[in-house]
């Protein structure tokens, strides 16, 4: 499948109907989701026939993209039942099979623990930790501990040095695949502008 074709299919993915700021719910655009998954698949061979997990799966766009690209198994994890309900509806529309697990990934013990060593690849657009300080790093560490092959994640470019240092501590290779613009539309009451672009890094954490 071509990148443009994947992006065009993903445009039909429904987003949060009632986004919750406490969970930093910002949907990944079809443009970014397509590029993330297409790169993970075509450049690194981390998607097709692989068991893929999606941490903070929201409305499911990353999992759906993985499914379309031929992942062997897909599972998404999110704290919000409303988001999981939308994700399930999206999967029905797209005729894609994804398991969804409702869990608080920041808790010391959570449903992700059962998947340790059973997922090849984890993809995620986690909360950036602006409302819930440090949650981005908690989810990232868990992802790195869980995946057998690789973790793909989006993080604010301003946190790059910190993340590179942490990756070294955790003994994984971190590659900045691309610098991207994350378009945040006017979604919440406190938003003053029609949309704002945030500089984000698309990162790959590889395990050897
Ligand atoms: C930035 S949104 C990304 C959603 C989706 N992955 C996407 O790409 O459109 C972050 C997601 O993480 C979820 N989330 C936030 N805190 C969480 C937690 N502690 N445990 C599990 N999911 C969480 C939110 O509900 C939200 O769906």
112-161 residue pLDDT tens: 999 999 999 999 999 998 888 999 999 999 999 999 999 999 999 999 99
How would you class 137 by CB atoms within 10 Å of its CB: exposed for 0-12, middle for 13-18, buried for 19 or more? middle
CA distance 70 to 52: 10
78-124 residue pLDDT tens: 999 999 999 999 999 999 999 999 999 999 999 999 999 999 999 99
104 CA from centroid of ligand 1 (Å): 10
CATH classification of the domain holding 141: 3.40.50.150
Domain contains 14: no
Domain contains 102: yes
Instruction: Answer yes or no: is pLDDT of 174 > 80.
Output: yes
- Nearest by Cα to 129 from 151, 152, 109, 156: 156
Domain contains 12: no
Q: What is the mean pLDDT of the chain?
A: 95
Q: Residue with the nearest Cα to atom 16 of ligand 1? A: 23
Q: How many domains does the chain have?
A: 1
Domain contains 56: yes
Q: Which atom of ligand 1 is nearest to the CA of 106?
A: 19
CA angle 191, 192, 198 (to 5 degrees): 65
DSSP string, 115-148: GTTTEEEEEE----SSSSTTHHHHHHHHHHHHEE
31 CA from centroid of ligand 1 (Å): 18
What is the extent of the structural domain holding 143? 19-206
56 CA from centroid of ligand 1 (Å): 3
Domain contains 13: no
Instruction: Answer yes or no: is pLDDT of 186 > 80.
Output: no
48 CA from centroid of ligand 1 (Å): 24
Instruction: Answer yes or no: is pLDDT of 5 > 70.
Output: yes
Domain contains 149: yes
- Nearest by Cα to 53 from 134, 142, 171, 178: 142
Residue list, ligand 1 pocket, CB within 6 Å: 23-28, 56-59, 61-62, 77-80, 83, 104-106, 125-127, 135
The single-letter DSSP state of residue 71 is B
């Amino acid at each position: 499948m071509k990148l443009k074709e994947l992006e065009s299919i993903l445009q039909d993915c429904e987003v949060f109907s009632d986004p919750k700021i406490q969970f930093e719910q910002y949907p990944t655009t079809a443009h970014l989701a397509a590029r993330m998954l297409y790169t993970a698949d075509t450049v690194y061979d981390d998607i097709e026939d692989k068991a893929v997990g999606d941490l903070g799966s929201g409305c499911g766009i990353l999992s759906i993209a993985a499914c379309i690209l031929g992942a062997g198994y897909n599972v998404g994890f999110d704290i919000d039942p409303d988001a999981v309900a939308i994700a399930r509806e999206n999967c029905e529309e797209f005729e894609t099979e994804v398991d969804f697990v409702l869990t608080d990934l920041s808790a010391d013990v959570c449903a992700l623990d059962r998947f340790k060593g059973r997922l090849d690849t984890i993809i995620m657009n986690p909360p950036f930790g602006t409302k819930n300080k440090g949650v981005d790093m908690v989810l990232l560490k868990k992802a790195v501990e869980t995946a057998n092959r690789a973790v793909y994640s989006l993080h604010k470019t301003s946190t790059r040095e910190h993340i590179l240092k942490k990756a070294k501590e955790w003994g994984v290779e971190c590659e900045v695949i691309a610098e991207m613009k994350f378009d945040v539309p006017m979604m919440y009451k406190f938003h003053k502008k029609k949309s704002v672009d945030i500089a984000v890094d698309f990162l790959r954490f590889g395990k050897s």
